[in-house]
Amino acid sequence: MDGIYTIRDIYLPSPLEREMLHAFLDRHHLGFEQDTECAVGVFDHDDTLLACGCCAGNVLKQFAVDGDHRGNNFLGAILSRLMQRQYERGVERLFVFTKPENMPFFQQNAFYPVAATQQVALLENRHSGPLYYARKWTVKKARDKKAGAIVMNANPFTLGHRWLVEKAAGLCELLYVFVVEEDSSDFPFQVRKQLVIEGTRDLENVAVCDSGPYMISAATFPTYFIKDKGMVSGIYTELDLKIFADVIAPYFHIRSRFVGSEPLCAVTQFYNEAMKSQLPAKGIMVYEIFRKEVGGVPISASLVRKIIRDQGPDHPLLESLLPQTTLSWLRSDEAGPVMEKIRRRSPEAPARGCVTGNGTT
């Protein structure tokens, strides 16, 4: 970089550096997000911040540059620095959420569009990424079958999930169950996925798959570029459904999507209604399956976690809420760290459940 300017990491643990970044983003009408792991900036000879970019996991975000310096390719230098940093950490697949008008810059820097709405665009640094994902998970010789799909977090897999899968499997020739891959739940992804596999093993037309990076969780959807936070849920939902309809469904030949009825969570209820209004126009029918109940109470993973937290995994009520496969795991030595994590969680700080936006929890 030109000797007048320097590019360096912004040291986030430092209150002064953190406040400097906050103020810079505020000036550019961008918010700072708490999951930000690293930040890079371009500074002048007075150590004044002129441009910045941040990352969280495999998501690059919060790019901004002062107007007087937009012709200096500061953002290109920052993007290269962030990408190199993530590559060194072993993070090779990178994604960018941004405003649609910023897409040309990222496309000029080897990022490829996944999907875009009027409000937000998603790009990645891998050409034909969805194709490679689909090749890994699509069932061979399934092209002529009428496939359906469920997206679930399964935190953990309950008899309610089993009910939904069983009913959906009876309505299509092949059912894909996508387990949300993001690890921000009490039960780790590999455990959640394995419990879904074990709990549906007897259903021959069910294929359990990783959700991959294309089924976005509302918990990790960046909102820094959205001024009206009241619009976040709608903007996220529109993008997520567009990716599912335009990217996922064609590769997997999905013609129907199944969800459980949602009497408890307004966020998931909103998502379900959005599915019913948007997906049929793309040739994907939406079927809402009535939620399984016990004693007049809907079975939910959040109820299971509450019982574990308050009463422990040996409470007899769990036997009416969970399949034997899940129950056996909960009461095994392997489950110890997860049980302790749930027990330590206060009632005021519930685990992420209905905020996935992807259907059942």
| Residue extents of the structural domains in the chain | 1-92, 94-126, 131-354
Single pTM value for the model: 0.88
Point out the least confidently predicted range of 186-200, 289-303, 317-331, 343-357.
Answer: 343-357
- Report whether pLDDT(292) > 90: yes
Is 259's pLDDT higher than 80? Answer: yes
pLDDT at 43: 97
pLDDT for 2:
66
355 pLDDT band, cuts 50/70/90, is: very low
- To the nearest 10 degrees (0 to 180), the angle between helices 301-311 and 336-344 is 90
pLDDT (0 to 100) of residue 218: 66
Pairs from 262-269 (Cβ < 8 Å, separation ≥ 24): 262/291, 262/354, 263/291, 263/298, 264/298, 264/300, 264/302, 264/354, 265/353, 265/354, 265/355, 265/361, 267/218, 267/233, 267/354, 267/355, 267/357, 268/354, 268/356, 268/357, 268/359, 268/360, 268/361
User: Which value, to the nearest 10 degrees, does the dihedral of the CA atoms of residues 205, 211, 217, 222 take?
Assistant: -150
CATH number for the domain whose boundaries are 131-354: 3.40.50.620
Ranges 6-15, 96-105, 266-275, most confident: 6-15
* Banded pLDDT at 220 (limits 50, 70, 90): low
Confidence at residue 356, expressed as pLDDT on a 0 to 100 scale: 41
Q: How confident is the model at residue 1 (pLDDT cuts 50, 70, 90)?
A: low
Mean pLDDT computed over 103-129: 94
Strand 49-56 relative to strand 38-43, pairing? antiparallel
pLDDT band with cut points at 50, 70 and 90 for residue 348: very low
Kindly report the backbone phi and psi dihedral angles of residue 129, in degrees, each rounded to the nearest multiple of 5, phi listed first. -55, -45
| Least confident among 109-123, 262-276, 319-333 | 262-276
**CA-to-CA distance for 254 and 248, rounded, in angstroms?**
8
Pick the CATH number of 1-92 from 1.10.1660.10, 3.10.110.10, 3.30.830.10, 3.40.630.30: 3.40.630.30
Task: Return the pLDDT at 252.
Answer: 93
Burial code (b: 16+ CB inside 10 Å, e: under 16) for 185-213 equals bbbebebbbbbbbbbbeebebbbbbbbbb
- pLDDT tens-digit map of 18-70: 999 999 999 998 888 888 999 999 999 999 999 999 999 899 999 999 988 88
Region 161-165: mean pLDDT is 98
- Mean local confidence (pLDDT), 155-180: 97
C-alpha angle 162/164/168, rounded to 5°? Answer: 115
Average pLDDT, the chain: 90
Mean pLDDT of 88-114: 93
pLDDT of residue 235: 87
Share of the chain above pLDDT 70, in %: 91
Read off the pLDDT of residues 203-213 as tens digits, 9 standing for 90 and up: 999 999 999 88
Q: Which of 286-290, 344-348, 349-353 has the lowest mean pLDDT?
A: 349-353
